[in-house]
Amino acid sequence: MEISILDKSNYFKGLLIVAKKDNQLAEQEKKIIRHCSEKLGFARDFYENTLKDLLENKYISEEPIIFSDKKIAESFVTEGLNLAHSDNSIDGVEINWLRSVTIRNNLGEKWFEEKMENFKNSPVTICNQE
């Protein structure tokens, strides 16, 4: 599936929001964001600078992101759960924000709860975005 520039940008921004929510940036989170950023086509210097300044950046809006396509939203929420899970400490603020993205994209609370259950017993992966 072809993803628009806006959706790519929102996907990247959303991953940054999830990573920032617990006020720490674990190495595994950076690894996932780097890999996803490359798959999305972002330049290395761009995402490295963004990661370097992420925790101090007060200008990233944390409004729930709306994607243009349900499949992209599903991929993002799944990746966001993976990212939240990657530091072995799923924070409630991360989950609540991902739940709000789920709701804004009409994916359904039941769908989200099923995804959450899947992550409780599965290993962390590195970016599911094609």
The per-residue pLDDT for range 73-106, each reduced to its tens digit, is 999 999 999 999 887 777 789 999 999 999 999 9
Instruction: Look at residue 45 and tell me if it is in a domain.
Output: yes
DSSP code of residue 100: H
Question: By residue range, what is the domain housing residue 116?
Answer: 5-58+68-120
Please list the helix, strand and coil fractions of the chain in percent, rounded to the nearest 5, in that order: 65, 0, 35
Check whether 122 has a pLDDT greater than 70. Answer: no
pLDDT value, residue 87: 77
Check whether 130 has a pLDDT greater than 50. Answer: no
Instruction: Look at residue 116 and tell me if it is in a domain.
Output: yes
pLDDT value, residue 127: 63
Place of tokens 């006020």: 23
Instruction: Look at residue 126 and tell me if it is in a domain.
Output: no
Instruction: Look at residue 130 and tell me if it is in a domain.
Output: no
Structural domain count of the chain: 1
pLDDT value, residue 126: 60
pLDDT > 90 in the chain, percent: 72
Q: What is the pLDDT of residues 6-48, one digit of tens each?
A: 999 999 999 999 999 988 899 999 999 999 999 999 999 999 9
CA–CA distances in Å: residue 55 to residues 17, 31, 109: 10, 16, 29
At a CB cut-off of 8 Å and minimum separation 6, what does 14 contact?
A: 65, 76, 80, 101
